[in-house]
Amino acid sequence: MVETAPHEREAAAQACAKHLRELEAMEALGKSVNARIYIGFKKHDGDD
């Protein structure tokens, strides 16, 4: 098993906590009949 440095573990834990909060927010939105999720996509600008 490979050991990781404490700062790497801390960074990973913070990232997991952030994603957990996002998932909890999405779950709460899913329970609301009036919830709307808006996703912004880049508009096609003609460059290929």
Predicted TM-score of the model (pTM): 0.50
Rg value, the chain, Cα = 18
Buried b / exposed e across 3-18, counting CB within 10 Å, b at 16+?
eeeeeeeeeeeeeeee
Q: What is the pLDDT of residue 39?
A: 82
Query: Which pair of structure tokens corresponds to residue 14?
Result: 């913070």
Q: What is the pLDDT of residue 46?
A: 66
Q: What is the pLDDT of residue 16?
A: 92
- Mean pLDDT, consecutive 10-residue stretches, the chain (48 aa), reads 80 91 88 84 70
Positive or negative, the Cα torsion across 8, 11, 12, 13? positive
Q: What is the pLDDT of residue 37?
A: 76
